Structure 1
């Protein structure tokens, strides 16, 4: 995802990861329900499973699903925070951790694995620990 240096507007590519996680959670939920129905259909009628076990399984799975959704929301919040922080670097001078690259940030590109600053010199610098921003 890139933040334009002039407008500060970013592209929306981070939402694809959340959509993939949501689809995976839905597949898991569907699979759980299919297994639960199959278990009910194939149980011994003379020894039926206790209803509290079904409710317990469903409650456990519901809790896991809610945790997945909470994690997705937290990832969205962190991504929004990263965009805000990255946008604030535009126009500032950065120096790489080893001091070999220095320049004014013209543009920021956000990726799933980190942030890259595009400098006025055309050089690209990965934003990370040890970097100086002034």
Structure 2
């Protein structure tokens, strides 16, 4: 019986790849602790005759806090996707797989995940990237 790799593994790999690409292409940003340090320093050295508008300060802090929470949520979702990908890919251990081009095949000894997706290591030492076109047989 021959089964093609599941769409879930392919989708999770694509999601992992896109999140890795977006995080590596982002510009250097100000962290939450650095923002608070900057805010406190700004308050410390403000002109006492022209203090900062407290409404604007609270608004900036709330906006930054919201963005920081979104970043943490994205990081958590990425971890969950990677865990799910590894769980799905681990079901290939002990099964015979063939690469999409048919040049590499063998019994899966172990599976690992990286930012580029899941990779199966075969008992003969070869590796196969678990993506679309990979054939799995019992």
Larger RCO: 1 or 2 (CA < 8 Å, sep 6+): 2
Q: Equivalent residues in 2 for 1:46-125 (5 A)?
A: 46-125=49-128
1:34 aligned partner: 37
CA RMSD of aligned residues (A): 1.7
Q: Secondary structure at the match of 2:47?
A: coil
Relative to 1, partners in 2 of residues 1:122 and 1:40: Cα closer, same or farther, differing over 3 Å?
closer
Instruction: Tell me if structure 1 keeps the 8 A contact 2:119–2:129.
Output: yes
Partner of 1:128: 131
Cα offset, 1:35, TM superposition:
0.9
Deviates more, 1:84-93 or 1:55-64: 84-93
What's the secondary structure of 1:55's corresponding residue?
A: helix
TM-score by length of 2: 0.70
After TM superposition, give the deviation of residue 97 of structure 1 in Å. 1.0
Deviation per CA, 1:42-91, whole angstroms, max 9, x where unpaired?
A: 22222212110110011011101111110121011112101101111112
How far does residue 96 in structure 1 lie from its aligned partner after superposition? 0.7
Extract unaligned runs of 5+ from structure 1. Answer: 1-26
- Flag structure 2 segments of 5+ consecutive residues without an equivalent: 1-29
